[in-house]
Chains A and B, each alone.
Chain A
Amino acid sequence: MNLRLILNFILSDWRSGELHLLLIALAIAVGTVSSITLTVDRLQKAMTKEASVFLGADRSINSRKPIPDQFIQEASNRGLITSSMVVFNSMVLSSADNTKSQLASVKAVEANYPLRGKLRVAEEPFGPTTETTEIPNPGEIWMNSRLLYILDVELGDQVDVGYAPLTVSGIIESEPDRGFSMLDLSPRVLMRMADIAATQVIQPGSQIDYRLLLVGDDPTFRDLYSAIEADLEGYRWRNVRDSDARIGRALERAESFFLIGGSMAVLLAGVAIALSANRYARRHFDHVGILKTLGARPRAVLWGCLGLLLLIGLIGIAGGLFAGAAIHFGLVWYLTEHLLTNVTEVPPASITPVLTGIVTGFICLFAFALPPFLDLVSVSPLRVIRRDFRRAGVSSLITYTCAITGILGLLIWYSGSWSFTLWLLLGIVAVTVTFGTVAIVLLRGGRLLGMQAGSVWRLALSGLQRRNVENTGQIVVFSLVIMLLMILYLVRSSLVEEWQAQLPADTPNHVLLNISQAQRDDVAQFIDRYASDGDLAAFYDGRVVAVNGEPVREYQRRWLNMAGPRLSSGRNLTWSDEVPANNEVVEGEWWSPGTEDKLVSVESDYARGWGLDVGDVLSFRIQGQVVDVEISSMRALEWNENAQFNFFFVFPPKVFDEIPSSYRAMIYVPDEHRSELSQLIARNPTMTVIDVDSIIKQVQSVIDRVTMAVEWILILVLTSGALVLLASIQASRDSRIKEHALLRSMGGTKKLILGSLTAEFLMLGLMAGLVAIVGAELSLYLIEEQLLEFEYATRPEIWLAGFLLGGGIVASVGYLSTRKLVRLPPVTILRDAG
């Protein structure tokens, strides 16, 4: 066949609507895959960039040793932007009054610091903060509000860092790379690298943290890493994921989700293509039969079919890429408009997603559409004489091999993981076989005699049974789609729930330290009035010195294999009359309030790890005094609960009677009460306040963004699912048209036929729903336990959703897409609609 003939074929098929579904399926496959990969690609870059503010850079190299010039040279040679920084603790003194001094955490930076993110500064101590792109000039220093209070200095005054006199020229409240540690207690001071030499702080043996901040693109980093890898001994190469475990986990899981979502979209689209190609080919048996009687040789038909396929492919793929790009730009616009705050510009797209789309399109087309097209080649010319002449057909072995090889290759390429692909595929094969068997059993149960045209329901039921091969296929496809949707939705829900559970809305955003006995009531009152959640506890430094009279180091030696926190280390201790919130006494008994006994309650895992039991006597050294106490109870507690302080050791209050105490508070202060907090701090300047609000908000916003992206992926996958549904309903269209026309010529009313159609799809949907529910529960168990490492729990909502999705969606899509057929006047029966 020549090109012109092929073109004519395509044109006439297009006009008659034969090609629409195949082209749309292909376009949606390509569109979904390319928009997902395109969006994920850019979103990942943007999110990584967004998250990179936590590092103040894209990568950093940290060490206790100075960063070698070689590293900086190698980095600059490759076009990376670099910035050096040192962090150390040093006493800062007021030059006017040398008795006022405070240990501060000094960060000395170069002019281009920070490479990612912004500094936040205040105009006046504890005042409102704004972002700035500036840093202190040489000879100047910026410091925290509370350091200004402690040193009793104002802007413009002079302070000494080591031997260097520096002018206080700004109030710094936060830097992007401050970290999330609540124990970073020393107030922050920011100055220039150029002034470091004058301080003479850097001496052999001094504890200095050297950092090299780097900004650039991933391939260059890989290149740099391999160039300096051999010399990295003693240096830590850090990326965003190391900077905050939560963000790292969120990103990783989002990637897993994108991977599952994308693979499912490819699979679904493939099924849609296979279905519509199959129908397309079947409807062309006659044409090919005619061509053959006219003398077309099989080889010519073969080339014609391939040409046809190629052309369809080109049109479908071009359409798909166009649609994919449109969806993608919509998404990117939406995401930048609503989500990205720190990054104003989304990194440019790379060419890979476009290639992914094109390759996906061709693989789908050839794996799924080629076998039915090859069937055309083997059509017998006898078909022209007898329409029902059975075709020889491409063996189903070839068909399945083609489809499986195609999908396997695609998934491996897509996921980059053999094991993931094999598991997914094994799962789907197992599901298909199981689902198919169940569907056949459901459909065959008690075959009805005749068409049962007297009643809507019986007509529907007999229709289901008469088309049981098609219907088995449809149930398998519907249930796969419903199952995939439920799985994706639920995996998404667990992901989002877990992320949000990590940072509930009232996560404490301020930590108050060094609260003296005299200040305690003021703080307690503040918590009562303004903080919606808070924990205020007494803190004592202390350590265990003996167990049952045996010195702790000797005792400890007998538990060599114990890996947890050491028994002999310094610990935070506290007292309480009541069992602390979220603690549960699991052994022994809690003391009666006001007891004078020398007792202690120990966290149960810690106690068991060290072989401690109720009744054992521990000797503590607390601020110079040694106290012997008897273990009276063990407590179990949830360490991840981050809204309160947790203690290994809790004592009755009287134990500390003669020991001066200090308090700490962890509180959530809503934005509207920040000014009251400033007043509290101003009234009690010796108190240390750590503001973790901005960090929490940053983490929250990254998590929100990832959540949103995940939801978008779900919508895209949903679209391909709906398409499969349509394609499979379309596939049974021809036999339905014939039956409807015949029934109506014999006097069947529209109502009867529409009713039975709806009923048939409803039953089909409900069966598919049932099968999908069981499949979803099983797969979720595997996915959550194995892949995402969640704890699996069966979900009752799945059952409702399965039936609603199955019955509701299949019935309405089925009804809507076949309703038109019933509208055809019954006279079509005379025109040989079959």
Chain B
Amino acid sequence: MTILRDVDISIARGEAVAIVGESGSGKTTLLGLLAGLDVPTRGRVWLDGDEISAFNEDERAQVRARAVGFVFQTFQLIDSLTALENVMLPAELRGERTAREDAIRYLERVGLGSRLKHYPRQLSGGEQQRVAIARAFCSEPQVLFADEPTGNLDTKTGHRIADLLFELNHENQTTLVLVTHDRSLADRCQSSTELAAGAVIA
């Protein structure tokens, strides 16, 4: 089965790109390949100067730890960790000592300075996604991959989250790859790539 075919895109440093398309068009698969979460059966992927499609699992993990941040549709916070601990996680993985101060700074930046010790269960959906955004930016990644970041939120909250995402992206000069089916969200990016049935149509 072929999920993606003849996809040839390049994304410049600092650019914000949307990948749009219907459900099942292959958006999420493409994101996974770009972020080095998976490798293509054929074809090549470069990230931050490395040909990650030629790397093995652990080498790609190192690239991710160094250069990549994620925001997921379903937030993906660890239930047994507090907001602060969740945000500290990527820095811990890199073995950084300053994790705590950075994490507090970013949580304050997303407006959750007073909820550091709360567990995900005690937070609303919007708040959970803010924690996830703080976690993504806290490691100061070169590229941020966001997979339907507002997909699980109501319109109003979704707007606020999107604002926050673009603000932080602008502040940190991060490259943003945003997967969404939401046209209005895609329009806020500098460019967008549309997929249909595994092929780029625009």
Partner-B contacts on A (CB < 8 A): 388, 449-454, 466-467, 735, 738-739, 742-752, 825-827, 829-832, 834
Q: Does B102 interact with chain A (Cβ within 8 Å)?
A: no
Query: Across the interface, which residues of A come within 8 angstroms of B147, CB to CB?
Result: 830
B33 to chain A, nearest CB (A): 8
Chain B 151-188 interface 0/1 with A at a Cβ cutoff of 8 Å (1 = within): 00000000000000000000000000000000000000
Q: Do A450 and B92 touch (CB < 8 A)?
A: yes
Query: Across the interface, which residues of B come within 8 angstroms of A826, CB to CB?
Result: 37-38, 61
Q: Given A748-B61, A825-B38, decide whether A450 and B88 contact each other with a Cβ distance below 8 A.
A: yes
From A454, A466, A831, give the contact of B95 (CB < 8 A): A454
**Chain B 38-66 residues near chain A, CB threshold 8 A:** 38, 57-58, 61-66
Q: Do B81 and A450 touch (CB < 8 A)?
A: yes
Q: Which of B4-12, B70-78, B107-115 contacts A (4 or more CB under 8 A)?
A: B70-78
Report the Cα distance A126→B92, complex, angstroms.
Answer: 87
Interface centre among A451, A738, A750, by most chain B C-beta atoms within 10 angstroms, is A451
5 contacts between A and B (CB under 8 A): A451-B89, A452-B92, A453-B93, A748-B61, A750-B58
Report the Cα distance A743→B70, complex, angstroms.
Answer: 11
B148 to chain A, nearest CB (A): 10
Q: Does B140 interact with chain A (Cβ within 8 Å)?
A: no
Query: Across the interface, which residues of A come within 8 angstroms of B61, CB to CB?
Result: 744, 747-750, 826
Query: Across the interface, which residues of B come within 8 angstroms of A450, CB to CB?
Result: 81, 84-85, 88-89, 92, 99
Q: Do A466 and B37 touch (CB < 8 A)?
A: no
From B58, B65, B92, give the contact of A451 (CB < 8 A): B92
Q: Given A450-B81, A453-B93, A454-B92, decide whether A749 and B72 contact each other with a Cβ distance below 8 A.
A: no
Q: Do B89 and A746 touch (CB < 8 A)?
A: yes
Q: Given A451-B78, A454-B92, decide whether A749 and B37 contact each other with a Cβ distance below 8 A.
A: no
Query: Across the interface, which residues of B come within 8 angstroms of A751, CB to CB?
Result: 58
Q: Do B93 and A743 touch (CB < 8 A)?
A: yes
The number of inter-chain residue pairs (CB within 8 angstroms) is 96
Q: Do A747 and B94 touch (CB < 8 A)?
A: yes
Report the Cα distance A834→B74, complex, angstroms.
Answer: 9
B164 to chain A, nearest CB (A): 20
Q: CB-nearest residue of chain B relative to A753? A: B61
Q: Does B31 interact with chain A (Cβ within 8 Å)?
A: yes
A745 to chain B, nearest CB (A): 6
Interface of B is mostly: helix
Partner-A contacts on B (CB < 8 A): 28-29, 31-32, 35, 37-38, 57-58, 61-66, 68, 70, 72-74, 76, 78-81, 84-85, 88-90, 92-95, 99, 121, 139, 147
Report the Cα distance A160→B141, complex, angstroms.
Answer: 114
Q: Do B68 and A742 touch (CB < 8 A)?
A: no
Report the Cα distance A738→B76, complex, angstroms.
Answer: 8
Q: Given A449-B85, A745-B64, A749-B62, 19 other A-B contacts at CB below 8 A? A: A451-B85, A454-B92, A466-B78, A735-B79, A742-B89, A744-B61, A745-B35, A745-B37, A746-B93, A747-B62, A747-B64, A747-B65, A747-B90, A748-B93, A752-B93, A826-B37, A826-B38, A827-B29, A834-B74
Q: Given A451-B85, A830-B31, A830-B147, decide whether A750 and B93 contact each other with a Cβ distance below 8 A.
A: no
Q: Given A747-B66, A747-B68, decide whether A825 and B74 contact each other with a Cβ distance below 8 A.
A: no
A151 to chain B, nearest CB (A): 93
Report the Cα distance A698→B88, complex, angstroms.
Answer: 73
Report the Cα distance A425→B3, complex, angstroms.
Answer: 58
Query: Across the interface, which residues of B come within 8 angstroms of A748, CB to CB?
Result: 61, 65, 93
Query: Across the interface, which residues of A come within 8 angstroms of B99, CB to CB?
Result: 450
Report the Cα distance A817→B158, complex, angstroms.
Answer: 40
Report the Cα distance A158→B73, complex, angstroms.
Answer: 108
Query: Across the interface, which residues of B come within 8 angstroms of A454, CB to CB?
Result: 92-95
Report the Cα distance A752→B92, complex, angstroms.
Answer: 12
Q: Given A747-B65, A749-B58, decide whether A832 and B78 contact each other with a Cβ distance below 8 A.
A: no
Q: CB-nearest residue of chain A relative to B28? A: A830
Report the Cα distance A750→B66, complex, angstroms.
Answer: 16
Report the Cα distance A454→B95, complex, angstroms.
Answer: 5
Q: Do B37 and A830 touch (CB < 8 A)?
A: yes
Query: Across the interface, which residues of B come within 8 angstroms of A449, CB to CB?
Result: 85
Query: Across the interface, which residues of A come within 8 angstroms of B66, CB to CB?
Result: 747
A823 to chain B, nearest CB (A): 9
Q: Given A450-B89, A745-B37, A832-B74, decide whether A827 and B32 contact each other with a Cβ distance below 8 A.
A: yes
Q: CB-nearest residue of chain A relative to B57? A: A750
Q: CB-nearest residue of chain B relative to A745? A: B70
A832 to chain B, nearest CB (A): 5
Q: CB-nearest residue of chain A relative to B68? A: A747
Q: Do B65 and A830 touch (CB < 8 A)?
A: no
Q: Do A747 and B37 touch (CB < 8 A)?
A: no
Report the Cα distance A735→B147, complex, angstroms.
Answer: 21
Query: Across the interface, which residues of B come within 8 angstroms of A834, CB to CB?
Result: 74, 76
* Closest 7 A/B residue pairs (Cβ): A747-B65, A466-B80, A747-B64, A827-B38, A827-B32, A827-B37, A453-B92
Q: CB-nearest residue of chain A relative to B85? A: A450
Q: CB-nearest residue of chain B relative to A451? A: B89
B48 to chain A, nearest CB (A): 13
Report the Cα distance A750→B58, complex, angstroms.
Answer: 6
Report the Cα distance A738→B32, complex, angstroms.
Answer: 16
B82 to chain A, nearest CB (A): 8
Q: CB-nearest residue of chain A relative to B93? A: A453
Q: Given A745-B64, A747-B62, A748-B61, decide whether A739 and B78 contact each other with a Cβ distance below 8 A.
A: yes
Q: Do B74 and A451 touch (CB < 8 A)?
A: no
Query: Across the interface, which residues of A come within 8 angstroms of B62, CB to CB?
Result: 747, 749
Report the Cα distance A831→B73, complex, angstroms.
Answer: 10
Report the Cα distance A829→B62, complex, angstroms.
Answer: 17
Q: CB-nearest residue of chain A relative to B35? A: A745
Query: Across the interface, which residues of A come within 8 angstroms of B85, CB to CB?
Result: 449-451
Q: Do A388 and B38 touch (CB < 8 A)?
A: no
Report the Cα distance A799→B89, complex, angstroms.
Answer: 38
From A742, A747, A752, give the contact of B78 (CB < 8 A): A742
Query: Across the interface, which residues of B come within 8 angstroms of A735, CB to CB?
Result: 79-80
Report the Cα distance A834→B31, complex, angstroms.
Answer: 19
Q: CB-nearest residue of chain A relative to B97? A: A454
Report the Cα distance A142→B46, complex, angstroms.
Answer: 101
Q: Do B37 and A451 touch (CB < 8 A)?
A: no
Query: Across the interface, which residues of A come within 8 angstroms of B92, CB to CB?
Result: 450-454
Query: Across the interface, which residues of A come within 8 angstroms of B139, CB to CB?
Result: 746
Query: Across the interface, which residues of A come within 8 angstroms of B73, CB to CB?
Result: 832
Query: Across the interface, which residues of A come within 8 angstroms of B89, CB to CB?
Result: 450-451, 453, 742-743, 746
Q: Do A388 and B76 touch (CB < 8 A)?
A: no
B63 to chain A, nearest CB (A): 8
Query: Across the interface, which residues of A come within 8 angstroms of B29, CB to CB?
Result: 827
Q: CB-nearest residue of chain A relative to B125? A: A386
Query: Across the interface, which residues of B come within 8 angstroms of A388, CB to CB?
Result: 121
B32 to chain A, nearest CB (A): 4
Report the Cα distance A738→B37, complex, angstroms.
Answer: 15
Q: Do A830 and B93 touch (CB < 8 A)?
A: no
A592 to chain B, nearest CB (A): 83
Report the Cα distance A686→B95, complex, angstroms.
Answer: 94
Query: Across the interface, which residues of A come within 8 angstroms of B84, CB to CB?
Result: 450
Query: Across the interface, which residues of A come within 8 angstroms of B68, CB to CB?
Result: 747
Q: Do A829 and B76 touch (CB < 8 A)?
A: yes
Query: Across the interface, which residues of A come within 8 angstroms of B74, CB to CB?
Result: 832, 834
Report the Cα distance A388→B73, complex, angstroms.
Answer: 15
Q: Do B80 and A467 touch (CB < 8 A)?
A: yes
B165 to chain A, nearest CB (A): 17
B102 to chain A, nearest CB (A): 13
Q: Do A747 and B121 touch (CB < 8 A)?
A: no
Query: Across the interface, which residues of B come within 8 angstroms of A739, CB to CB?
Result: 78
Query: Across the interface, which residues of B come within 8 angstroms of A749, CB to CB?
Result: 58, 61-62
Q: Do B37 and A829 touch (CB < 8 A)?
A: yes
Query: Across the interface, which residues of B come within 8 angstroms of A453, CB to CB?
Result: 89, 92-93
Report the Cα distance A466→B77, complex, angstroms.
Answer: 14
Q: CB-nearest residue of chain A relative to B120? A: A388
A735 to chain B, nearest CB (A): 8
Q: CB-nearest residue of chain B relative to A747? A: B65
Query: Across the interface, which residues of B come within 8 angstroms of A745, CB to CB?
Result: 35, 37, 64, 70, 76
